[in-house]
Amino acid sequence: QSALTQPPSASGSPGQSVTISCTGTSSDVGGYNYVSWYQQHPGEAPKLMIYDVSKRPSGVPDRFSGSKSGNTASLTVSGLQAEDEADYYCSSYAGDNNVVFGGGTKLTVV
Amino acid sequence: QVRLQESGPGLVRPSQTLSLTCTVSGGSISSGDYYWSWIRQDPGRGLEWIGYIYYDGSTNYNPSLKSRVTISVDTSKNLFSLKVISVTAADTAVYYCAREAGSDFDIWGQGTLVTVSS
């Protein structure tokens, strides 16, 4: 199983929206509605932000939304805030009870 | 609330065995509602799922690591453990334990850095 493909970086200004993509194959992203997104600040553990493509855990702001089309999933952060600056990782179920992660995207709020 | 805490040596010699433990508090591994996973992160790089264990001892591993990895559980102590044999510098990483609900990881430990070096 190969890692999912994410852009290494993304940026936006406060108040703007930014979308991060996560591209896999029909064996992972495209084959199941089990894509998750994690936010990681420096020195901290990842935090679950989106699961099952578009569901938000309790406590995650509705500024964060997820979607999927074919083999590509996307995370959109609306109304960017300074505290959204972090690394973001996608993951997907990849069959046979396996999980694969993306390489991560560093989001900068400029 | 449920908390996970990793523990174990921070330095392992090449070709030796890496051993880590994850202690779960605030909830029972035996509830059967979740899988219990290990995930690692190379310094400055991405995340890699290592594998999971269920309370009954059933396991599943990342195919790329399967030959070197064993995950075990001790329900009496409410903890699960990771062993990686024949380590090399490529196994240097921050190792996280996490609770897996479906295919997402909703609770993570703080992580522990393991360095493989002589």
Beta-bridge partner residues of A50:
A37
Which residue does chain A place closest to B103, by CA atoms?
A93
The series of mean pLDDT values per 10 residues for chain B, 118 residues long, is: 97 98 96 94 87 96 96 97 97 97 94 96
* Res A1: pLDDT: 60
Instruction: Please measure the distance between the N-terminal and C-terminal CA atoms of chain A and give it in whole angstroms.
Output: 35
Q: What does the pLDDT read at residue B46?
A: 87
Residue written as tokens 């009954």? B56
How far are the Cα atoms of A54, B31, B58, B102 from residue B35, in angstroms, in the given order? 22, 10, 10, 8
Average pLDDT for residues A53-76, to the nearest whole number?
97
Q: A49-53: list long-range contacts, CB under 8 Å, 24+ apart.
A: A49/A75, A49/A88, A50/A75, A51/B101, A51/B102, A51/B104, A51/B106, A52/B102, A52/B104
Contacts of A58 in chain B (CB under 8 A): none
CA distance B106 to A5: 22
SS3 A53: coil
B29 phi/psi in degrees, rounded to 5 = -60, -30
Cβ-nearest to A46 among B45, B47, B52: B47
Judged by a CB distance cut-off of 8 A, whether residue B36 touches chain A is: no
How large is the average pLDDT for residues A27-40?
97
- Please check whether residue B103 touches A, CB under 8 A: yes
A57 contacts A67 by C-beta, under 8 angstroms: no
Cβ burial of A70 (10 Å; 0-12, 13-18, 19+) is exposed
